[in-house]
Amino acid sequence: MSPLILRRLRDKFWPEPLPPVKSFEGQTVLVTGATAGLGLAAALHFATLGASVVITSRSLPQGNGVKDEVEKRAGIVGQGKIHVIELDLSRYSSCLAFVDRLKEATATRRGLDVAVLNAGLINAEYVQSPEGWEETIQVNTLSTTLLGLLLLQLMRKRRPRASRKPHLVFVTSRDHIDPDIRDWARWATDDGILRHCSDRQNWPSHQIEPNYANSKLLLTYAVEEICKKAVEPDGRVGVIVNTVCPGLVFTSLGRAIAKGSTLMQLAVPLHASVLGKSADYGARFYVTAARTSEDEHWLKRNTKGKYIQSLFGEEEYRILAFPNLKSDTALKVKALVWNEIITEMKRAVPVLEQLEGA
Ligand SMILES: NC(=O)c1ccc[n+]([C@@H]2O[C@H](COP(=O)([O-])OP(=O)(O)OC[C@H]3O[C@@H](n4cnc5c(N)ncnc54)[C@H](OP(=O)(O)O)[C@@H]3O)[C@@H](O)[C@H]2O)c1
């Protein structure tokens, strides 16, 4: 049996430990995409550990249902500790409206302590977002990056008496090591890497999860830049930034693929249910990521820093990730990707220009 399968089975039965009760007492934690799967499980963990939790949903009635469920299961009914804000990552305008509402919701507290950017999707068919990008690229990469940049600004402004450093956590996936980036520099000079990945004609329909791995690698590149921005001019880390992969988790993430054929309808849930861990166990990695130290900030000492995951040993991951993260090609492609992403962000959201360091 392969080491990957063995590790998946280990994680399915031996969970990541949770910190002591009340570890997040007095803190405000944001979890995006909390209506289902890992986001819902994470909201429940943080609430049980004492946090006030802001959850997001594309639909307010659905979000309010989740709020009631989390309050009940965490035993905090009537305490006003769970808040729902609407967020649809397929539109930039929704991201901006969301951040305004978040500012209002956290104004009476000391600000946001932890943000877990979890919302994401896999599309089996090509879907174009209202912004004109393929939807996986829009949601998993572009809007998540925009939210990350806006939240970084917000978290930096936390009141000085806050003793604990804020945490910005991006949910990526082990799949970021999969894309073959050797053609990406050429795509950049043709119509752009983002455009190439977003073009209907290039939709990789032969793949089981078309564009998902690309979207998570693009996000990983963007997070490296956000990490740099999280370091203050005096060299201190202002906001601790990490990426996290929860491993294979049995959720509804693969529902779009399962629709594809009868075989997939059987294979996708079977694979995830046999090898995948529960959402409860998967979301524990988010809790771990929300408690990393300043030394574990992603680019600290210019190492790969802390990518929270359990599927690979450190050296194994270093070797597997080298082609896409550290090789000469990767360094070139990374810079090209960031240039495209930040150009798009500033085009779509001119206010970013005014924000310090954006
Ligand atoms: N499951 C795994 O094995 C696995 C492995 C590695 C990484 N991940 C990552 O973990 C994260 C959560 O996945 P999951 O497995 O919990 O999937 P899930 O059960 O499908 O939940 C996804 C969440 O994202 C939200 N979402 C989807 N599109 C959105 C949009 N346009 N705007 C705002 N929210 C949106 C969904 O909201 P609605 O209810 O409105 O659809 C839902 O709350 C994803 O980023 C995924 O890539 C998962």
pLDDT of residue 159: 62
pLDDT of residue 352: 81
Cβ-proximal residues to 40 (8 Å cutoff; 6+ apart), any chain: 34, 66, 69, 70, 279
103 as an active site residue: the answer is no
Cβ-proximal residues to 86 (8 Å cutoff; 6+ apart), any chain: 56, 57, 58, 59, 60, 63, 94, 97, 98, 101
What region does 309 belong to: left with phi over 0, alpha with psi -120 to 50, or beta? Answer: beta
Mean pLDDT of 76-82: 97
Concatenated DSSP letters for 96-108? HHHHHHHHHHHTT
pLDDT band at 355 (very low <50, low <70, confident <90, very high): low
Q: Looking at residue 268, which CATH number applies to its domain?
A: 3.40.50.720
Residue ranges making up the domain that contains 141: 3-347
CA 50 to chain centre: 22
Q: Confirm whether 214 is domain-assigned.
A: yes
Least confident of 104-113, 287-296, 334-343: 104-113
Q: Which of 12, 223, 245, 253 to mutate to test the pocket of ligand 1 (most atoms within 8 A of CB)?
A: 253
Q: Confirm whether 81 is domain-assigned.
A: yes
**Is residue 358's pLDDT more than 50?**
no
**Is residue 354's pLDDT more than 80?**
no
Q: Confirm whether 353 is domain-assigned.
A: no
Mean pLDDT of 101-108: 90
216 as an active site residue: the answer is yes
Integer Cα distance of 344 and 57 in angstroms: 25
Q: Confirm whether 356 is domain-assigned.
A: no
Q: Confirm whether 298 is domain-assigned.
A: yes
In this structure, the residue with its CA closest to atom 42 of ligand 1 is 33
Number of domains in the chain: 1
Integer Cα distance of 250 and 236 in angstroms: 38
**What tokens appear for 215 in the block?**
């979207």
Q: What is the pLDDT of residues 12-32, one digit of tens each?
A: 999 999 999 999 999 999 999
Cβ-proximal residues to 314 (8 Å cutoff; 6+ apart), any chain: none
Between helix 37-48 and helix 60-74 the angle, nearest 10°, is: 40
Query: In this structure, what DSSP letter does residue 276 have?
Result: P
Question: Measured in angstroms, how far is the CA atom of residue 75 from the centroid of ligand 1?
Answer: 25
